[in-house]
Chain A
């Protein structure tokens, strides 16, 4: 069972994609695991035949538990060690030292470097030849940290010994790997529109005058509610992707991209965003941001988002096109509200406007539907009192 987050201690193996006796090759998906980050495909990094399955479907086991044994064509049984998932996130410990996984998690093929599947996966991602890495693991096995040190040393000759990447650096690395996979496997299409925000901002200022300070609304609340309601009209954008297919979600849980103090990013879910009042959304958003930055997010919040909304307006960015975060099938971006010339009934006036974008999976939706979604967001923001 792979370790997917810093505090993950167990996962549920929901579905086996292979059976005893099936041949597998490197890169094959062998099982689906449900974790606090959602359903994750577990890949194998060796070739052979499945000799035995040790964890039945539906079982929840601690991280580090050996899931199955694979008999390589010419060697002893090799345990399927937890590998880096298709959606890597910061992990607290390398999979090659899990308990109670046996040392068989390390490859034992004669003539090849002793290296764990996780370390081999990282080596592939970083372009490092495992044979060139000096291993510091048990019996000289190459660990993930060994691979990362080799990659860092190759990029910049160190004046002093290279320190292992800190946690923020590892988070960047894992997020980068996830985004690289998303760009590689998901055919993104991109749409953008400019929305007149004058009615929304005027309504917001008047509404906040009526509210006590603890109940004031931020503009982002209006944007998220409009997004959630627009998804009711274009539900295929609010789905969970399974390769080329997607299952629309009955609920709309908006993943809110939150920057962490000191660096890093997390996108926990605001559940049922379409069914909550603006005040309730604002309360939920404040609580989510607080717990995201201080620790204490719930696993459901990390796994339940059906679409992500990102905004870099506060950093002065006018337009942002996001990268889809699997297994979601779309991501919405909002920019900074800026005053711009705007044509109203043939006259040029100044209006506060905002760029709204959609990045979506072309296997699941077409540009026409994406356009309808953005048009719906625009329309909904013209009647903020009805959000």
Chain B
């Protein structure tokens, strides 16, 4: 899919995310000596942000709930995603995960 946003909106996103990301990176370097660091409760929550957000981004792209469980599982993106997850787990290699995941998508698409 292609965005319908114009150049102004896209550059605004680039700029706002860029400035905010720099602010996060620089935050405690700037504040050093003034505050002790990340409050423990916040740090506890921050530890789970990557897993939660990444899963929320991935899952809808590979799980498309069908009318039955069989229809949900026998979906080319779901099957390719499972293959890729197994590859990611055993190889911890992003290139292998992408390559085999794409191949699996093509292969399953030819069969299912």
Query: Is chain B a partner of chain A in the same complex?
Result: no
Residues of A within 8 A of B (CB): none
